[in-house]
């Protein structure tokens, strides 16, 4: 982390960048927040560790409107999101100074809660310089430890790799965190009967409270004004009606990012109701890969997406 701060101070001092977009220490060890730093002094609050899961690429839309370059820290998977935004002219490459930061998998309080660890006062073992295999945790009710892996976000278990597709420089090491196939969950659902599938999604989606966090955090959902907020389609964007609206919203949300979704997993990370929203996005990714050839959104900032291209012999609807 100190290396990051030192390098950042240099870049601020020599005028290469006007500001820094990174993470600020929270009031608890588990809740750092995305933040801008305008000078070397404020960097004393800078933090980068396992809890810094937020994908900062979407903030670069706004930062592209500011004067001067913004230094942004992107994890390997975040660079795909940035590249996709670049492809859609939503960010300005010239306005960004990208430091690719190492990633050993991201953890969250919610994941700790899920394994019964609550009220976390202090955590050791989640720094980039740590081995990141065990977390030593102090809680309100006593001390405990757990495997780093067990506190990891779902997306890190199926991480696509630690490649950076766009950057200006790289700092820090990454570690292989993969221990699953990212389409396994999708396959599991596909193997269910239609009735089971319907029951599964009904239970999950009926929890939706239409807070729009999934949409607003999504780097592919970068519309200035979402179609669900416009009057053109006459859709209620904030009322949960427990019948069809949620399904419509989630299907269309996933459809609109099909071929553009980099599978960054932010939607599932932020859902207050723990809906596995990535399962919808991944279904499209899996279909696209199967039907139209492997495609990885964000890998390149050029070229058409699967839904803006075609071949003469494409599969017919309803046959797959």
Partner 1 sequence: MYKIAKENLPDLYEAIAETNTLYIPVKKAGQTNFEQWTRSAEVDIKTLKTVKSPKDAFFPQSENLYTCGKEGKKITITLEALTDESFVVFGMKACDVRGVEVLDKVFLAEPVDTFYAARREHGIIVAMACNEPELSCFCKVFGIDCTEPSGADVITWLIGDELFWRPVTEKGEMLTDSVKRLLSDGDDAAVEAKREEISKIVSKIPNMRLSLDGWGRDDKLERFNSPLWEDLYKPCIACGTCTFVCPTCQCYDIKDYDTGHGVQRYRCWDSCMYSDFTLMAHGNNRTSQMQRFRQRFMHKLVYFPTNNDGMYSCVGCGRCVNKCPQNLNIVKVIKAFKKEGV
Partner 2 sequence: MQRIGVFVCHCGSNIAATVDVKKVTETALMEPGVVHAEDYQYMCSEAGQAKIAAAIAEKNLTGIVVCSCSPRMHETTFRTCAERAGINPYMVEIANIREHCSWIHKDVEEATKKAVILMRAAVAKVNLNTPLKPGESRVTKRALVIGGGIAGIQTALDIADAGYEVDIVEKTPSIGGRMSQLDKTFPTLDCSACILTPKMVEAAAHDKINIYTYSEVEQVSGFVGDFTVDIRKKARSVDMNKCTGCGLCQEKCPSKKTPSEFNRGLNTRTAIYTPFAQAIPNVPVIDREACIKFKTGKCGLCSKVCAAGAIDYEQKDEIITRKYGAIVVATGFDVIKLDKYDEYAYSQSRDVITSLELERIMNAAGPTKGHLQRLSDGREPKNIVFVQCVGSRCADERGKSYCSKICCMYTAKHAMLIRDKYPDVNVTVFYIDVRTPGKNFDEFYRRAVEEYGVNYIKGQVGKVCPEPDGSLTVYASDLLDNKQLRMSADMVVLAAAIEPSASVRQIATMLTASIDTNNFLTEAHPKLRPVESPTAGVFLSGVCQGPKDIPETVAQAGAAAVKAIGLLAKDKLMTNPCTAKADELMCNGCSQCANVCPYGAISYETRLVMGPGVRENRRVAVVNNALCQGCGACTVTCPSGAMDLQGFSNRQIIAEVDAICR
Partner 3 sequence: MPMNDNAEFRPKIVAFCCNWCSYAGADLAGSSRLTYPADVKIIKVPCSCRVNPMFILRAFEKGADGVIMCGCHPGDCHYSTGNYYARRRMTLLFSMLDYIGVEHGRTRVEWVSAAEGVKFSATMNEFVEKIKSLGKNVRLGDLRCRS
**What x/- string results for residues 111 through 150 when contact with partner 1 is judged by CB under 8 A?**
-------xxxx------------------x----------
DSSP reduced 3-state for 96: strand
Of the residues 131, 147, 192, 209, which one makes contact with partner 1 according to CB under 8 A: 209
The least CB distance from residue 185 to partner 3, in Å, is: 12
Question: Quick one: which segment of 1-9, 28-36, 124-132, 231-239 binds partner 2 (CB under 8 A)?
Answer: 231-239
Q: Is residue 21 involved in binding partner 3 (CB under 8 A)? A: no
The only residue of 7, 9, 26, 127 in contact with partner 1, by rule CB under 8 A: 26
- Helix or strand (DSSP H, E) at 283: helix 278-292
- Which tokens is 35 given? 């933040």
CB-count burial class (<10 Å; 0-12, 13-18, 19+) for 211: middle
State which of residues 55, 222, 262, 281 lies at the interface with partner 2 (CB under 8 A): 222
Q: Site map for partner 3, 259-288, x if CB under 8 A? A: ---------------------x--xx--xx
If the CB atoms of residues 34 and 102 are measured against partner 1, the closer one turns out to be: 34
Question: Per rule CB under 8 A, is residue 95 in the interface with partner 2?
Answer: no
DSSP state of 172: S
Q: Collapsing DSSP states into helix, strand and coil, what is residue 222?
A: coil
Partner from partner 3, partner 2, partner 1, none binding residue 306, C-beta < 5-8 Å depending on class? partner 3
Q: 89 touches which of partner 3, partner 2, partner 1, none (CB within 5 to 8 A by kind)?
A: partner 2
Give the 3-state secondary structure of residue 137.
strand
Reference 259, options 305, 222, 199; nearest CA is 305
**Sign, CA torsion 115/263/212/301:** positive
Q: Which is nearer to partner 1, 208 or 288 (CB)?
A: 208
- Terminal Cα-to-Cα distance of the chain (whole angstroms): 48
| Residue 145, contacted partner among partner 1, partner 2, partner 3, none, CB below 5-8 A by kind | none
Under the binding rule (CB under 8 A), the answer on residue 309 touching partner 2 is yes
Tokens 């050029």: give the residue: 302
50/156 Cα distance (integer angstroms): 11
CA–CA gap between residue 311 and residue 313 (Å, rounded): 5
- Per-residue b or e along 9-29, where b marks 16 or more CB atoms closer than 10 Å to that residue's CB: bebbeeeebbbbbbbbbeeeb
Report which DSSP code applies to 101.
E
Pick one of 86, 101, 109, 126: the residue that binds partner 1 (CB under 8 A).
109
The single residue listed with the structure tokens 């003469």 is 312
221/57 Cα distance (integer angstroms)? 12
What is the binding site for partner 2 (CB under 8 A)?
A: 65, 87-90, 221-227, 230, 232-234, 256-257, 304-305, 307-309
What is the binding site for partner 1 (CB under 8 A)?
A: 26-28, 31-36, 54, 58-59, 109, 118-121, 140, 203-204, 206-207, 209-213, 215-217, 225, 229, 234, 236, 238-241, 266, 269-270, 272-275
What is the binding site for partner 3 (CB under 8 A)?
A: 189-190, 194-202, 227, 233, 241, 243-245, 247-248, 251-252, 254-255, 258, 280, 283-284, 287-288, 291-292, 306-308, 310-312, 314-320
């Amino acid at each position: 982390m100190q290396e990051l701060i030192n390098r950042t101070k240099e870049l601020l001092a020599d005028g290469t960048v006007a500001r820094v977009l990174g993470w600020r220490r929270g009031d608890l060890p588990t809740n750092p927040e995305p933040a801008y730093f305008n000078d070397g002094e404020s960097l004393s609050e800078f933090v980068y560790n396992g809890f810094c899961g937020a994908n900062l690429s979407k903030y670069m839309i706004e930062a592209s409107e500011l004067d001067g370059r913004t230094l942004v820290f992107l994890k390997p998977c975040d660079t795909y999101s940035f590249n996709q935004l670049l492809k859609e002219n939503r960010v300005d490459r010239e306005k960004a100074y990208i430091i690719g930061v190492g990633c050993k998998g991201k953890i969250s309080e919610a994941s700790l809660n899920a394994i019964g660890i609550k009220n976390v006062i202090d955590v050791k073992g989640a720094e980039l310089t740590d081995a990141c295999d065990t977390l030593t945790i102090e809680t309100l009710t006593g001390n405990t430890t757990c495997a780093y892996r067990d506190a990891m976000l779902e997306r890190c278990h199926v991480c696509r790799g630690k490649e950076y597709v766009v950057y200006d420089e790289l700092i820090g090491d990454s570690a292989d965190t993969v221990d699953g196939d990212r389409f396994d969950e999708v396959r599991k659902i596909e193997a269910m009967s239609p009735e089971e599938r319907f029951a599964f999604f009904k239970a999950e989606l009926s929890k939706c409270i239409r807070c729009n966090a999934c949409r607003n955090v999504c780097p592919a959902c970068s519309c200035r004004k979402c179609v669900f907020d416009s009057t053109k389609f006459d859709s209620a964007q904030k009322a949960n009606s427990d019948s069809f609206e949620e399904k419509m919203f989630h299907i269309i949300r996933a459809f609109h990012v099909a071929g553009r979704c980099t599978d960054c997993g932010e939607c599932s990370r932020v859902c207050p109701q723990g809906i596995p929203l990535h399962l919808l996005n991944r279904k499209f990714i899996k279909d696209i890969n199967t039907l139209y050839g492997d495609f990885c959104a964000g890998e390149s900032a050029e070229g058409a997406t699967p839904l803006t291209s075609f071949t003469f012999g494409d599969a017919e609807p309803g046959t797959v």
